[in-house]
């Protein structure tokens, strides 16, 4: 999903000296398994899908130019899980970790992460879900670029109304770090903003996306379209992950994460 007609700007991007980032597109990643479809995990918890809202520094002419410069891109990552038909509040059903070794904690310590997504007020992204159900079902195959030229009719304009707020959760607390694109050429020019709380779409929306065919005729779910985070390079500076909320407790000893307006 992309929009080059109505300007949408993102401001106050952490560590950016520029006042505005222009919206480029929204895309969604999934994996081979429902339990491990997101590229990021929060406290070792993965989700079925992960939505990326991609923005580029508007001082550059386009995203191709911006992505080659340090800090040229900002990506908001939103975890996506399945909704129930009877409301926005539901328990998190995920996940079995039976064959996956637990990741060692690195830049974020357990006492500092305060993820506890069980306290999130879950938002059903109904508009996004309906569009996924409608259009991914229609799309039978994905036509890629050949010889750097776009195949005729490879893109079809769809006139539907959707706001970026439809892809955002109720709670905007986030983790942020400087990293790279997760697809080639993997430029290390991205300020990642990973939202702590997920949104939810229908299982039908997930299945509609997972059965879309790639250029080889395989369903996207066969191999997945996710690139898990990579370990840092030895002797290179460690990637620091920061957050814009602080941890506390309120009587019942549950971790709560109110937004900290004073910093990241």
pTM, to two decimals: 0.77
Domain that holds residue 40: 9-256
What sign does the CA torsion over 82, 86, 90, 96 have?
Answer: negative
Instruction: Give domain status of residue 2, yes or no.
Output: no
Q: Is 263 among the domain residues?
A: no
Whether the CA torsion 23, 29, 35, 41 is positive or negative: it is negative
Domain membership flag for residue 43: yes
pLDDT of residue 55: 96
Residue 107: HSE in the Cβ half-sphere, 13 Å Cα cutoff: 14
What pLDDT sits at residue 130?
95
Residue 227's domain is classified under what CATH number? 3.10.200.10
| Number of domains observed in the structure of the chain | 1
10-residue stretch averages of pLDDT, the chain, 264 residues long: 67 85 94 92 92 95 94 96 60 38 39 58 92 86 51 67 92 92 88 95 95 85 84 73 72 38 36
Give me the pLDDT at residue 140, please: 63
pLDDT score for 258: 40
Residue 1 lies in a domain: no
* Tokens standing for residue 182: 């997760």
The answer as to whether 264 is a domain residue is no
């Amino acid at each position: 999903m992309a929009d080059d007609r109505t300007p949408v700007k993102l401001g106050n991007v952490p560590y950016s000296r520029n006042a505005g980032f222009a919206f480029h597109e929204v895309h969604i990643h999934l994996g081979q398994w429902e339990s491990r479809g997101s590229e990021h995990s929060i406290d070792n918890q993965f989700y079925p899908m992960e939505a990326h809202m991609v923005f580029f520094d508007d001082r550059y002419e386009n995203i191709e130019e911006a992505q080659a410069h340090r800090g040229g891109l900002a990506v908001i990552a939103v975890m996506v899980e399945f909704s129930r038909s009877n409301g926005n509040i539901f328990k998190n059903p995920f996940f079995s970790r039976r064959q996956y070794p637990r990741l060692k904690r690195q830049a974020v310590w357990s006492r500092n992460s305060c993820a506890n997504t069980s306290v999130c007020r879950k938002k059903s992204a109904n508009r996004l879900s309906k569009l996924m159900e409608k259009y991914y079902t229609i799309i039978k195959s994905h036509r890629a670029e050949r010889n750097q030229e776009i195949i005729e009719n490879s893109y079809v304009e769809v006139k539907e109304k959707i706001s970026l707020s439809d892809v955002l959760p109720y709670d905007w607390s986030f983790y942020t770090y400087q990293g790279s694109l997760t697809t080639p050429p993997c430029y290390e020019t991205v300020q990642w903003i990973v939202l702590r709380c997920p949104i939810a779409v229908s299982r039908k929306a997930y299945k509609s996306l997972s059965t879309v065919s790639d250029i080889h005729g395989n369903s996207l779910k066969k191999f997945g379209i996710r690139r898990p985070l990579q370990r840092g390079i030895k002797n290179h500076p460690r990637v620091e992950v920061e957050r814009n909320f602080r941890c506390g407790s309120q009587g019942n000893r549950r971790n709560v994460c109110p937004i900290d307006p004073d910093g990241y």
